[in-house]
Amino acid sequence: MPVLFDTDIGSDIDDAVALAYLLTEPRCELLGVTTVTGEPQVRAQLVDAVCQALGRPEIPIHSGAAKPFLVPQKQPEAPQKVILPRYPHRELFAANTAVDFLRQTIRSRPGEITLLSVGPLTNVGLLFALDPEIPGLLKQYVMMGGSYVNRPAGYGVMEWNTRGDPHATAVVFAADAPGTRCFGLDVTTKCRMPVDECRKRFNRGRLKVVADMAEVWFQRRPEITFHDPLAAVGVFEPGVCTYQQGRVEVELQSARLMGYTDFRPDAKTQPHTVAVDVKPEAFFKKYFETVEKAAT
């Protein structure tokens, strides 16, 4: 399955965990990776470090938008860049090539490509706004972002990616791309792993680059929540979740709630599919069956 992956790797560790899956999933034809939010060129270096460590140096990588459409930047730096001196990676990435790359690649294979985004939606929003035909040329659009039905305790009503660029998020949902499928906090927060288990799973062979990036994350958090990996696995194993169809609208008027994703079941058009429950054991089984084969 041809996939394009848009990521804010370098902040939360789950982006690198998701990338490791895409690089090792035999059914994934990874056409390229694009980076978004603060220090996008540094984030591109991190993508390349993971790709090289996992034996995939050929993957095209393009840096994208550094700042949201209108709101202030919420993550100006990529903290995991501290691992870069320890891993081979390309140093030079041209600025702002992501949207052109996505556009050209999707147009070259109409109806074939899955676009998977797991960061703030600036790149995707720009893509859909600059070329309104692009959403209709996708096979499907899959995202990690939002919170829809079963809002988890302790997270409030907001989710990081949709809050990071609410105006881009609104553009993306308004485009009604075919097969739009959303993995939000409703399900991702049920897929967690504590520090010791994460170290045991990732601190081996080619996966050590992920383990080292995770140590930066563990300075602030005692666990990994597999937000982005759930969306990645869901592309190939949709049965790990159950879904509901309807329409998502994005709040833009309230400064306090800007980026809030309001989901309403819609029996007529149903342009958006949101995950409402997950089987964590099935997800972890699928994920680690794939990536652990690449560990040696």
Specify the length of the chain in residues. Answer: 296
3-state secondary structure of 244: strand
- pLDDT reported for residue 269: 77
For residue 25, what are the CA distances in angstroms to 46, 50, 101, 289?
20, 15, 23, 10
Residue 86 DSSP label: G
> What pLDDT was estimated at residue 295?
72
pLDDT average, residue stretch 36-42: 99
Number of domains the chain contains: 1
More confident position, 149 or 236: 236
Q: Determine the Cα–Cα distance for residues 227 and 13; give it in Å rounded to an integer.
A: 10
User: Taking residues 246-258, what's their average pLDDT?
Assistant: 94
Question: Is a pLDDT exceeding 90 seen at residue 221?
Answer: yes
Percent helix, percent strand, percent coil in the chain, to nearest 5: 40, 20, 40
Q: What is the mean pLDDT of the chain?
A: 96
Helix or strand or coil: residue 257? coil
* Contact between 36 and 123 (Cβ < 8 Å): yes
Query: Does position 33 have pLDDT exceeding 70, yes or no?
Result: yes
Tokens 């054991």, located at residue: 281
Q: Which helix (H) or strand (E) holds 4?
A: strand 2-7
User: Could you give the percent of the chain with pLDDT greater than 70?
Assistant: 99
Mean pLDDT of 10-27: 98
User: How do residues 139-164 score in pLDDT, each as one tens digit?
Assistant: 999 999 999 988 776 777 789 999 99
pLDDT at 267 over 70: no
CATH number, domain at 127? 3.90.245.10
What is the tens place of the pLDDT at every residue in 64-86? 999 999 999 999 999 999 999 99
Residue 177 has pLDDT above 90, yes or no: yes
**Range of 267's domain?**
2-294
The answer to which of 2-6, 107-111, 290-294 has the lowest mean pLDDT is 290-294
Read off the pLDDT of residues 95-152 as tens digits, 9 standing for 90 and up. 999 999 999 999 999 999 999 999 999 999 999 999 999 999 999 999 999 999 887 7
